[in-house]
Amino acid sequence: MANYSFRRQPDDLENATSYTSIPDQPEAASSIPVGHRRSKKLLAGILFSSVFLLSLILLYVNQQPESQTKVNGTNQGKSSTPKPITPAARTAPPSRGVSQGVSEKTFRLTSGENATYSWTNAMLSWQRTAYHFQPEHNWMNDPNGPLFHKGWYHLFYQYNPDSAVWGTITWGHAVSKDLIHWLYLPFAMVPDHWYDIKGVWTGSATILPDGQIVMLYTGDTYDVVQVQCLAYPANLSDPLLLDWVKYSGNPVLVPPPGIGPKDFRDPTTAWLSPDGDKWRITIGSKLNKTGISLVYETVDFKTYDMLDGYMHAVPGTGMWECVDFYPVSIKEVNGLDTSVNGPSVKHVLKASLDDDKNDYYALGVYDPIENKWIPDDPELDVGIGLRYDYGKFYASKTFYDQNKQRRILWGWIRETDSEDDDILKGWASVQSIPRTVVFDQKTGSNILQWPVSEVEELRSESVEFGNVKLGPGSIFPLKVDTPSQLDIVASFEIDEDAFEGTVEVDADASYSCPTSGGAANRGKLGPFGVIVLGDKTLSEGTPIYFYITKGANGKAETHFCADELRSSLAPDVEKVVYGSKVPVLDGEKYSLRSLVDHSIVESFAQGGRTVITSRVYPTKAVDGAARVYLFNNATKVSVTASVKMWNMGTADIRTFPLNEL
């Protein structure tokens, strides 16, 4: 497709005029921006409506519990008061986010929307995770600005201090020594200026060579325009980076001509230009239905030049949220700083697709002179090819961990139960276990994601089952002590003779995890794998499995799937089958790893080539009643399984004892 220059003004765009930012604004959120020239009549009208609005707000505030949006207070917000829900009271939840121009933040059930389940407190409390990062209460979404500074890993996150649903987006902040145990800190940034009063949205950190930290984030302005803002730590010598200063000249970027005011968000970490004297960032947007990444150059992060055209565009992919762009080494296993480029480097470009709420990536080559990124395989371009995760995983972000020379990926894992149930629980969403990202040197066509090694600190007792023979249609229970908190590593070998002599019927040529009936659908060569969070009679259970198809030409393909169809007897939770193909190379066994942590199961196939994150909400398979099984539901082949499982401890996640410093 032809390059689009923003110096031209096409007439087919949603909004072809540039946003005029408001200069020299007073700091207070309530201030009416100056610089807008309005007639006296208009001003009088505004004054009247403001007084009217203010009285409404006051009336509302007086009826509300004490506000929790304390700037740099020590609280992390408190839970909204659970309201009893009667089946008759349940209606479709309101849409959240879309009117402000971001993807839908309400989880909308695809079936059984009006059906309800009488969750007990015990079941709901069981759903809270033991070793995934989540705030004490309320709503969380995207991970923001992760970084390592003076011995601490910092994680910021989109957070609602008031409720378990999306809104009032504030930057939560937590620190960790090991990416597993976390201490909550006071909020880093709250919506308190005209340029971010509707939300301090997603952003990224850049650590400059002299150690300065630059944070760029999207502000949603008082008039619902997405602008980019600059913030920096007040005191770099503070390892906790407690205080953040918003630059007085904010916003530093407004939507350029031709870009819609609600289509311009989530700046990336910066990388150095080829001559090393300027920084570049990319920001996601769209032109009609084409997802694009705009690139800006800056010296001081205060003023910017937009480079002509865009770094990349993919028709039909819609708005690109939370773009991420980073190098991976094709020779080494260490991660790379974001500015590294050269012949032994490929670049990953990732976009979170607003339209389908999944994170897609592609491998390619970045030409810094032309400022173009070219995918290795145009058929696997961003948004039409590979996904980081085939389950629930969105708005992810990586950072280069200079402490251990690795690149680490985090993703937002939303709930897939009803919003009413989230309000009852008093919380919604978790962050994935941080994953290292490397180039897969064996296939050359994908990345590998793997839980950071620190998660293994939580492993305690293990049980091992070697060479378990699973004939066609068999199931094998595995005894474990903590079935809701497990690290499971399993490998499977299939009977070669049966495999060689088996050709699948045509129907299997079109096998796809989401549409082929789940683990109950028996093929000649699959499914086989593990069932987690199953109950005694398997009225509930979540199979994680391989399914092989093999055509008359002898070519085999392996699918890796997670089947939620029987994960819960409750009707008001999402139950789908996730998954995709996974490359299995000659000589490799079929291998999987699943991290089970109450209502989340993160599963990695073939060392992390294909990953699936499921949220499951069983009613019976909770606490000690949950069980793990090996199974082989293929009709033709026997499978030999070996599995090792560790009980996983509980991470220490609590408020930082600042008063003890």
CB of 47 to ligand DQQ, least distance (A): 32
Distance CA 396, CA 203 (A): 11
Q: Reduced to 3 states, what is the DSSP secondary structure of residue 497?
A: helix
With beta carbons less than 8 A apart as the criterion, state whether 78 and 64 touch.
no
Which residue's entry shows tokens 């930012």? Answer: 21
Among 11, 12, 24, 142, the active-site one is 142
Distance CA 630, CA 619 (A): 21
CB of 646 to ligand DQQ, least distance (A): 33
CB of 282 to ligand DQQ, least distance (A): 14
Which residue's entry shows tokens 């007085």? Answer: 248
Q: Does 430 bind ligand DQQ (CB under 6 A)?
A: no
Output the CA angle 571-572-573, nearest 5 degrees. 100
DSSP calls for 419-454: HHHHHHHTEE-EEPPPEEEEE-TTTSSSEEEEE-GG
Q: Does 359 bind ligand DQQ (CB under 6 A)?
A: no
Binding mask 49-88 for ligand DQQ (x = CB under 6 A): ----------------------------------------
Q: Are strands 459-470 and 474-478 parallel, antiparallel or unpaired?
A: unpaired
Q: Considering only residues 238-297, where is the footprint of ligand DQQ by CB under 6 A?
A: 265-266
Q: H or E stretch including 592? A: strand 590-597
CB of 103 to ligand DQQ, least distance (A): 6
Which residue's entry shows tokens 């066509």? Answer: 445
Which residue's entry shows tokens 């001081």? Answer: 300
CB of 321 to ligand DQQ, least distance (A): 4
CB of 169 to ligand DQQ, least distance (A): 5
Output the CA angle 430-432-433, nearest 5 degrees. 125
Binding mask 148-167 for ligand DQQ (x = CB under 6 A): ----------x---------
535 is catalytic: no
Q: Does 102 bind ligand DQQ (CB under 6 A)?
A: yes
Q: Does 322 bind ligand DQQ (CB under 6 A)?
A: yes
Of the pair 266, 389, the CB lying nearest ligand DQQ is at 266
Q: Does 420 bind ligand DQQ (CB under 6 A)?
A: no
CB of 228 to ligand DQQ, least distance (A): 11
Fill in the amino acid letter for 533: L
Question: Which of 142, 324, 389, 572 touches ligand DQQ by CB under 6 A?
Answer: 142
Taking alpha carbons only, the member of 545, 570, 549 closest to residue 558 is 549
- Secondary-structure percent of the chain, ordered helix, strand, coil, rounded to 5: 10, 40, 50
Tokens standing for residue 534: 């199953």
With beta carbons less than 8 A apart as the criterion, state whether 436 and 403 touch.
no
By Cβ distance, which residue is nearest to ligand DQQ?
Answer: 201
Of the pair 152, 171, the CB lying nearest ligand DQQ is at 171
Taking alpha carbons only, the member of 503, 509, 531, 525 closest to residue 594 is 531
Of the pair 219, 451, the CB lying nearest ligand DQQ is at 219
Per residue, the 3-state secondary structure of 80-136, as one string, reads CCCCCCCHHHCCCCCCCCHHHCCCCCCCCCCCCCCCCCCCCHHHHHHHCCCCCCCCC
Alpha-carbon distances of 239 from 135, 174, 246, 384, 488, rounded to whole Å: 21, 12, 19, 41, 35
Distance CA 274, CA 375 (A): 20
Distance CA 422, CA 316 (A): 33
Q: Does 321 bind ligand DQQ (CB under 6 A)?
A: yes
Contacts of 372 (CB under 8 A, 6+ apart): 311, 312, 366
Of the pair 391, 608, the CB lying nearest ligand DQQ is at 391
CB of 414 to ligand DQQ, least distance (A): 9
Binding mask 186-215 for ligand DQQ (x = CB under 6 A): ---------------xx-------------
DSSP calls for 187-236: EEE-S-STTTTT-EEEEEEEE-TTS-EEEEEEEE-TTS-EEEEEEEES-T
Which one-letter DSSP state was computed for residue 299? S
Which residue's entry shows tokens 């839970």? Answer: 79
CB of 157 to ligand DQQ, least distance (A): 10
CB of 188 to ligand DQQ, least distance (A): 15
DSSP calls for 615-645: E---SSS-GGG-EEEEEE--SS--EEEEEEE
CB of 360 to ligand DQQ, least distance (A): 14
Of the pair 215, 641, the CB lying nearest ligand DQQ is at 215
Of the pair 358, 642, the CB lying nearest ligand DQQ is at 358
Residue 314: other Cβ atoms inside 10 A: 25
Q: Considering only residues 366-405, where is the footprint of ligand DQQ by CB under 6 A?
A: 395
Sign of CA dihedral 143, 147, 149, 151: positive
Which residue's entry shows tokens 């565009």? Answer: 313
Q: Are strands 386-387 and 372-375 parallel, antiparallel or unpaired?
A: unpaired
Of the pair 202, 619, the CB lying nearest ligand DQQ is at 202
Q: Does 138 bind ligand DQQ (CB under 6 A)?
A: no
CB of 227 to ligand DQQ, least distance (A): 12
Which one-letter DSSP state was computed for residue 59? H
Which residue's entry shows tokens 């090694």? Answer: 453
Q: Does 169 bind ligand DQQ (CB under 6 A)?
A: yes
Give me the active site residues, please: 142
Residues that bind ligand DQQ (CB under 6 A): 102-103, 141-142, 158, 169, 201-202, 218, 265-266, 321-322, 395
